[in-house]
Amino acid sequence: MSTEPCQCAGKEQAAFTPRPIVMCGPSGTGKSTLLKRLFAEYPDKFGFSVSHTTRKPRPGEVNGKDYHFVEREVMLQEISVGKFIESAEFSGNIYGTSYRAIEDVLASGKNVILDIDMQGVLILQRQLASGEQKLSGKPLFVFIAPPNVQELEKRLKGRGTENEESLAKRLDAAKRELEWGLKPGSVDAVIVNDDVEKAYVELKTVILS
Ligand code: ADP
Ligand code: 5GP
């Protein structure tokens, strides 16, 4: 990976040292929205760690790009043989980051970005604390918060991806994630996504500095 100063147009010309960036925050808070912008603006700088999931694809999601969509039995078997750096059950589905997902991004010379839930972050943080760091370099943990839970619910409903049951599960998880993420010391940076433009500028400031 290059450690040269950013050559991109705009204000972010200061040098930055690539390191894994771990994005987290409640489902529906806007992580994918912000990351889409980032990958569009910096296609050569950042690469997405494509997770595995047992969740069914949403309309428009592409296997191998958004996720590796797999059956539960396959995922459980692959977890048991140590294919994943971390994995967790979220809202009735299993999600996990494979070693391969990270290696693929690093091999392309880009800085890797993960989008994972609180449980996954806690696993990575425990690995770090015990000296079993499995990512290359100390990660930067960034929590994307919604302005409030009512707005989060509105966004999740507006996205049109959830049924009543999965919406309730995600909102339930969101409350726990918010309590954790907003507690001082849980992550390196908290960005409140009340306005996408503003949140995106803040995200760039955090990860390019
Ligand atoms: P996540 O990846 O965190 O689950 P998404 O990026 O899918 O969240 O965003 C959830 C929904 O909220 C999407 O429909 C998206 O367009 C919308 N959204 C994202 N950011 C904002 C914002 N700042 N204001 C209003 N709606 C937003
Ligand atoms: P979604 O189903 O909305 O795509 O994702 C649900 C939640 O799973 C989000 O909080 C997302 O960050 C998280 N997630 C996605 N991939 C992974 C992963 O590989 N590991 C973990 N622990 N969580 C993940």
Mean pLDDT score of the chain, rounded to an integer? 92
- The per-residue pLDDT for range 53-79, each reduced to its tens digit, is 999 999 999 999 999 999 999 999 999
Q: Which ligand is nearest to the CA of 197?
A: 1
Interval 16-38: pLDDT, tens: 456 999 999 999 999 999 999 99
d(CA 209, CA 206): 6
Q: Is 94 helix (H, G, I), strand (E, B) or coil?
A: strand
Q: Which residues of 80-105 are buried (b: 16+ CB within 10 A; e: fewer)?
A: eeebbbbbbebbeebbbbbebbbebb
Confidence (pLDDT) at 209: 82
Q: Indicate the pairing of strand 140-145 with strand 21-24.
A: parallel
List residues near ligand 2 (CB under 6 A). 27, 51, 55, 86, 88, 90, 95-97, 115-117, 119-120
Contact assessment for residue 193 and residue 199, using Cβ atoms and an 8 Å cutoff:
yes
Low-confidence ranges of the chain (pLDDT < 70): 1-18
d(CA 11, CA 115): 25
Dihedral sign from CA coordinates of 77, 81, 85, 89: positive
DSSP 117-156: -HHHHHHHHHHHHTT---SSSPPEEEEEE-S-HHHHHHHH
Domains assigned to the chain: 19-208 (3.40.50.300)
Please state, in angstroms and rounded to a whole number, the distance separating the CA atoms of residues 55 and 22: 21
Which ligand 2 atom sits nearest the alpha carbon of residue 31?
Answer: 12
Nearest protein Cα to ligand 2, atom 12: 116
> Is the CB of residue 31 below 6 angstroms from any atom belonging to ligand 1?
yes
- Check residue 16 and give its pLDDT: 45
Which active-site residues does the annotation give? 58, 159, 170
Q: Give the torsion through C-alpha atoms of 102, 56, 144, 186, to 10 deg.
A: -70
**Ligand 1, atom 19: closest residue by C-alpha:** 30
Q: What's the confidence (pLDDT) of residue 184? A: 97
